[in-house]
Amino acid sequence: MTAVLLAATLYSGFRASRKSALANRVDHGLHAVMMAAMVLMLAPGVQWAVLPQILVFVLAAGWFLIQAASLPAIHGAGTGLAGRGKPLYDALVMAAMAYMLAAMAFHGTREAGAGTDVAVILGQSSHHRGDAAAGQPLARPLQDWGGQPALLLAVAFSVAGALWAVRMLRQLRDEAKAQPARPGQGPSGRRLTVHHRSGRRLPAGNSPGQGSLRICDTVLELVGAASMAVMFAALVP
């Protein structure tokens, strides 16, 4: 899991470094920060300052909410619910990260030396459930925060991961159907359009390279959702 998150961090950093609109670069940069934060969470025996991380993700959630409220000005996108869905989802992800950090910080204070080491929580979650089955109290209770929010978020991100997986499969199917009429440029130097096997002409922006980037972006979202689901599931008592 750490290796996958590290690869996702590097990819997000690569996307943030590409020449594009400033808002898109900030979006990818925030995703890189989120993936890096999850990598740091999984580093065993290492504790990191929690409050600065919570502040960063609260501000990131606010950034995506601002985008959802002003999509035409930022991206030139539509104002419908479908157009606002992605920034609203990103805002939820960033808010969930802030909640996870706060929950783990409180989680760690209930047991001396626990800190916010997610690797310890993940490694001991099954042991704790075994203790509960034997009639013993959990060593790291989350009653004050409530196990239901973590459970609901685990389910929500599991569903989101499934939806991202479906989207990825659809994109792979569409990418396989799309093929360029001929490589390079024509004799006149004009940029060639991409043709669909069904005979439908695709816009020039839907080139195979752009399609591959969209697929990679979807894989990134899938990795993020699945990782969040696993981490929240580990916080359920």
| Number of Cα atoms under 13 Å in the Cβ half of residue 207 | 11
Q: Note whether 150 and 108 are within 8 A (CB).
A: no
Amino acid letter at 80? G
pTM (predicted TM-score) = 0.72
Q: At what angle do helices 2-17 and 208-234 cross, to 10 degrees?
A: 140
pLDDT in tens for each of the 237 residues of the chain? 889 999 999 999 999 998 888 888 999 999 999 999 999 888 776 677 889 999 999 999 999 999 888 865 444 444 444 567 889 999 999 999 999 988 877 765 444 444 444 555 555 444 444 444 333 333 344 444 446 788 899 999 999 999 999 999 999 988 887 765 445 444 444 444 444 444 444 444 445 467 788 899 999 999 999 999 998 888 877
| φ, ψ of residue 171 in degrees (nearest 5) | -65, -40
d(CA 165, CA 215): 10
Domain boundaries, the chain: 1-118, 143-180+194-237
Please return the burial class of 110, using the count of CB atoms within 10 Å of its CB with bins 0-12, 13-18 and 19+. middle
Q: Which residue has the tokens 């590097």?
A: 10
